[in-house]
Amino acid sequence: MHYLDKLENQSIYIIREAYAEFRKVAMLWSIGKDSTTLLWLIRKAFFGKIPFPIVHIDTSFKFKEIYQFRDRYAKEWGLNLIIAKNEEALKRGVGPEKGKFNCCTELKTNALKQAINKYGFRALYLAIRRDEHGIRAKERTFCFPQGSLVYGEEVKPIEKLREGDLVYTHLGSLREVKGVSSRYYKGKLLCITPSYGMPIRMTPNHVILAKVRTQVKKIVHVTTKGFDGKIRQVKLPIEGKRRIAWVKASELKVGDYLLIPKLAKKPQDHHNSPKFIHIDKVIGKHPGLVKNKKKLSWKSAHSSSSLIRRSLPITADMMRVIGYYVAEGSVNPSGNQFEFGFGKEEESFATDIIEVINKYFGIKGNVRRGNSWIRVQYSSKTLMLLFHYLCGRGARNKKFPYFFTKLTNIQLRELVRGCWLGDGSKERYSTTSLILAHQMRMAMLRLGILTSIKTFSDGRYALSIAGVSKEKFKNLFGFECEIPYINRYKKIVKEVSELHSTSLSFAEFGHSRCGGFWVPVDKIELIDYEGPVYDLCVDGHSSYLVEGIAVHNSPRDEDFEWDYKNQPPELWDQFKTKSREEEHIRVHPMLGWREIDIWEYIRKEKIPIVSLYFAKEGRRYRSIGCECCCNPIESEADSLDKIVEELRISKVSERSGRAQDKEDAYTMQRLRSLGYM
């Protein structure tokens, strides 16, 4: 599918989704290229007949060509056109000579608010693009401090994520990061501790997916036996109904539930799982590495040294051996050696390693035994570097190989099994590597198993199988849990097999067959913080997982004002269609489009456009609005083909000719905060 078709399909889906959810909607039409393209998309979405009004905010200072184009196509396309003017301001003589900021506020922002109040619109479609202006790229919230771990193809601190990385969303899908934003923040952070997880820190305005209480009927005191075998007195709330919502972190209460989604892998993805990886690409360029057609060797190696195949087979048994290395392996770069160490009673693990490595690489390990230990040693610089670069060196730096999220469930199970056999004990797993602890948790979520994760003062991280997953863990791995799970109180953890409208009123959040776990909030604290905070723009669902917890953002307030300092987002690919009665939603079906995408789509669809965009006498307008605020650029682009070619090489900002962008450094930001389009 052509990328323009993908953009079109995504935009039309958002258009239809918003129309299905809101009582009263309208579209703002500036008559510019972007909004005319959006109008075209809406016409396609509803088969040529638009079922809601089109609003033009008329300042009375537009180009005559804009008015001529508006009137012609409003009639030709059968639009229900509403022309909104701030007549009172015009009578007072408000205009460009009073200052661009004041003029835009009165004749655009306030005119828009008057139209909203008059017609009662609950949602408005706008043709905003993130690449058009810096403040428009901020349609999201900066909320997480440095060090917050985000789950994706890799577990990374949020500040180390880059555009193009893949992260998991609230529906358990991997989606691409479209941008990483940051700002300086001084104030309070909320430190939220969920059951089965470590505390996560966020600004109070950040929006998080939660199951919140409408009421608590009463508290009962019960005696219960914990998973550690101890008898405790606990308070158990007998609760009223709950609702699922994206809520601000500041609105959370102890006892509300947060979502930890299971991580999906589509059945068809199994066919795309890697079968081999090239060893020489993993270990990189090394002096002396000799690459033959199918084998690898070293110039300085002894003549009797074995040649190593160039590819690592990604099979279930090989993944189990890699798991053994993650748990119990070590490397000695100076001696070009690597080894696995086990207890004397773990002879079978050593035998397993010897058989698998010999099977795929034709190398026999050297087995050494002591009174209480057994070690399997190998002398191979190639394999030593392979294990080193794939999985790290030293207990605190161990990690799963980079491709672990692409493994089939069987391969992933064996990777986890090898680790668990080495460092696990029944239903518990211990490691000193923070990244590995979270990767292990991710792998378990892929397999449908919830684990708790805790840290200890000695630097260890411990994972334990949550009670609700004990039976599945036993069936999948064959490891007997020390304390059997008794499903006595179902309200502690709620496992759901699917997230969709029929089971959990989940229509506003999308659909996922992978399901997840609702875990209660145990503790909420306020802490002081000064430093950078970060947020991600994620393709598709526009959500992501911070240490497994699903997070997102929020809409505008009842005055239609946007707190850009706290960065509340507006509706784009995530469908947050639930809002309070006093809130307005802006629907942005085209946030992900670029200027050149617009023009290529106009060319492809043959969309009529105002003539001002085409060059006459060596000049044309690249962005249009009020005549007094727009300046043409030098250009010979008098056709769609020439405009597209011009944009491919242009390094000039699209809005370089717009006066309000230049009046002072923050004019556009101030206008947007007050409700400007």
pLDDT tens sequence across 24-46: 899 999 999 999 999 999 999 99
Q: Where in the chain is the domain with CATH 3.10.28.10?
A: 269-477
pLDDT tens digits, 571-580: 433 344 444 4
Q: What percent of the chain has pLDDT over 70?
A: 80
Token pair 């993130």 in the structure block, residue: 130
DSSP 8-state symbol, 628: G
Give the least confident one: 163-177, 493-507, 649-663.
493-507
Task: Classify strands 25-28 and 54-57 as parallel, antiparallel or unpaired.
Answer: parallel
pLDDT recorded at residue 618: 95
Q: Measuring CA to CA, which residue among 640, 645, 612 is closest to residue 626?
A: 612
User: Residue range 445-469: average pLDDT?
Assistant: 89
pLDDT tens digits, 465-482: 988 888 899 999 988 777
pLDDT recorded at residue 424: 87
pLDDT recorded at residue 653: 63
User: Residue range 142-146: average pLDDT?
Assistant: 77
Residue 581 has pLDDT above 70, yes or no: no
pLDDT recorded at residue 305: 61
What radius of gyration do the chain's Cα atoms show? Answer: 30
User: Residue range 319-348: average pLDDT?
Assistant: 91
To the question of pTM greater than 0.85 for the whole model, the response is no
Q: Are 69 and 77 in contact (CB under 8 A)?
A: no
Q: Residue 277 contacts by C-beta under 8 Å, 6 or more apart in sequence?
A: 311, 312, 314, 403
pLDDT recorded at residue 537: 81
The rounded distance, in Å, linking the Cα atoms of 446 and 484 is: 23
**What confidence tier does 53 reach under pLDDT thresholds 50, 70, 90?**
very high
Question: Which alpha helices (DSSP H) does 180-291 contain, by range?
Answer: 279-283
pLDDT recorded at residue 607: 97
Q: Where in the chain is the domain with CATH 2.170.16.10?
A: 142-264+494-552
pLDDT tens digits, 594-638: 999 999 999 999 999 999 999 999 999 998 989 888 899 999 999
Q: Where in the chain is the domain with CATH 3.40.50.620?
A: 3-135+586-609+658-673
Q: Under CATH, which number does the domain 269-477 receive? A: 3.10.28.10
**What confidence tier does 380 reach under pLDDT thresholds 50, 70, 90?**
confident
User: Residue range 359-366: average pLDDT?
Assistant: 89
219 or 17, which is more confident? 17
CATH topology of domain 3-135+586-609+658-673: Rossmann fold (3.40.50)
Q: Residue 604 contacts by C-beta under 8 Å, 6 or more apart in sequence?
A: 4
pLDDT recorded at residue 445: 94
How many Cα atoms within 13 Å fall on the side-chain side of residue 152?
Answer: 22
Mean pLDDT in the chain? 82
pLDDT recorded at residue 436: 95
pLDDT recorded at residue 167: 93
pLDDT tens digits, 344-362: 889 999 999 999 999 998 8
User: Residue range 515-528: average pLDDT?
Assistant: 92
Q: Are 65 and 612 in contact (CB under 8 A)?
A: yes
User: Residue range 208-235: average pLDDT?
Assistant: 72
650 or 313, which is more confident? 313
User: Residue range 201-223: average pLDDT?
Assistant: 78
**What confidence tier does 336 reach under pLDDT thresholds 50, 70, 90?**
confident
Residue 156 has pLDDT above 90, yes or no: yes
pLDDT recorded at residue 498: 63
What CATH class does 142-264+494-552 carry? mainly beta
Residue 303 has pLDDT above 90, yes or no: no
Give the least confident one: 85-89, 135-139, 173-177.
135-139
Amino acid making up residue 656: S
Strand partners, 244: 211
**What confidence tier does 232 reach under pLDDT thresholds 50, 70, 90?**
confident
User: Residue range 258-264: average pLDDT?
Assistant: 91
User: Residue range 77-84: average pLDDT?
Assistant: 96
Element (H, E) at 649: helix 640-649
Residue 521 has pLDDT above 90, yes or no: yes
**What confidence tier does 513 reach under pLDDT thresholds 50, 70, 90?**
low
Q: Are 469 and 449 in contact (CB under 8 A)?
A: yes
**What confidence tier does 432 reach under pLDDT thresholds 50, 70, 90?**
very high
| Other CB atoms within 10 A of residue 659 CB | 18
- Extract the tokens encoding 354: 């010897």
Q: What percent of the chain has pLDDT over 90?
A: 44
pLDDT tens digits, 536-559: 888 767 789 999 999 974 433 334
Positive or negative torsion for Cα 352, 356, 362, 365: negative
The rounded distance, in Å, linking the Cα atoms of 634 and 650 is: 12
Q: Are 296 and 289 in contact (CB under 8 A)?
A: yes
